[in-house]
Structures are given as C-alpha cells and as structure tokens.
C-alpha cells in the first residue's frame, strides 16, 4: 500500500525558481489517495470531543466535508469575501503581496461550540489564523486544527501557537 506522500505530485521551480510546489490535485485524482487522505485526517480526530468542523475555501471544503459527514458533525464553510448569502463576519489577513478577506455566517458557530478547523495546507498560517479569530469572535472554541500538508519552512505554526495543530504530511522546506 502506498503512503500518502506517494500521491503528492511535487513540481520544482513553481511558481518561481527554488520553490517546490506540492500539488494536492494528484491526491484527489486517485481514489485510493483521496480515501487515504480523508482517513488520515479523520484519524487525527479520534477521541476528540467537538461539535463542528470548519473548512476554508476551497480545499478545506474538499477535505473537511467528508470528515464532517463521516463523523456526523456540522460543517461550516469559511469563504472568500462576498460569497455567502446571509449576514457575515469577516477578517482581513496579510498575503505575501497585499491582503485578503474571508467571511463566515454570523450564525455558523454558537457560543460554547467546540470547533475543528481543517484545510489542505499550512504555509504562512494567515488564513487559518483569521478563521480562528472569527470562530472565537462568535464564541466558539477551536479544539484542534488539522492540515493534510505543512510547509514547515514558512513557519505557519508560529501564528497558531497555543492551538492543537497537526499535519498529516510535513515538508521541511517552503
């Protein structure tokens, strides 16, 4: 049986020289890779008491939704600005060049709910940091953050200090 790392396509010098792009689509394109990725993320939640899974657009939806379905938990989409139809809260965060804004519905998380955040990748940690801030603003408690892949060389975990953060795959570089 293949390891999850065997399903990740690594593309050298993309988007710029010296960077190795870790492509998650190669996992999605293989039924065994997709099933293994969901199983491994879900395994990180064994024995954990929680109510809700939040996933960030768009690959957090891909990996978080099946876990929520399998564990019979609610799923909360965290989306790019302007994509949600009801009243929202928003948070701006820094990108390498500029800023971005994400939103979630004001009624997505109730006070006291325990929330797990799932995404495909942690790089600099800005998106997930902003999502956590919104969850806490609504009164939720983030009890775990799970990523399929981590680029440890970008130090994203530093922004998430104090939270229980795990990744299925950890790459030392950027």
164 SS3 class:
coil
Catalytic residue among 22, 59, 129, 150: 59
Q: Does the annotation mark 96 as catalytic?
A: yes
Q: Does the annotation mark 157 as catalytic?
A: no
Catalytic residue among 16, 46, 87, 96: 96
Name the residue among 147, 17, 30, 22 with its Cα closest to residue 9.
22
What distances in angstroms separate CA 51 from CA 14, 142, 167, one per listed residue?
A: 38, 10, 20
Are the CB atoms for 54 and 145 separated by under 8 Å? no
Name the residue among 34, 52, 43 with its Cα closest to residue 120.
34
In residues, how long is the chain?
Answer: 174
What distances in angstroms separate CA 147 from CA 76, 99, 114, one per listed residue?
A: 16, 22, 18
Helices H / strands E in the chain, number of each: 4, 9
Half-sphere exposure of 106 (CA within 13 A, CB side): 5
Residues marked as catalytic: 59, 96
């Amino acid at each position: 049986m293949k390891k999850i790392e065997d399903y990740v396509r690594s593309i050298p010098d993309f988007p710029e020289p010296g960077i190795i792009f870790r492509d998650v689509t190669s996992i999605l394109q293989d039924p065994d890779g997709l099933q293994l990725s969901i199983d491994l993320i879900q395994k990180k939640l064994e024995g954990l008491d929680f109510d809700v899974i939040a996933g960030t657009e768009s690959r957090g939806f891909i990996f978080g939704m099946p876990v929520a379905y399998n564990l019979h938990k609610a799923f909360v989409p965290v989306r790019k600005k302007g994509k949600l139809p009801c009243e929202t809260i928003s948070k701006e965060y820094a990108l390498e060049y500029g800023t971005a804004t994400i939103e979630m519905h004001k009624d997505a998380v109730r006070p006291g709910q325990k929330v797990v955040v799932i995404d495909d990748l942690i790089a600099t940690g800005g998106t997930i940091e902003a999502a956590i801030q919104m969850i806490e603003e609504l009164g939720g408690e983030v009890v775990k953050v799970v990523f399929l892949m981590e680029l440890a060389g970008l130090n994203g975990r530093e922004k998430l200090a104090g939270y229980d953060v795990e990744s299925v795959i950890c790459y030392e570089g950027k």
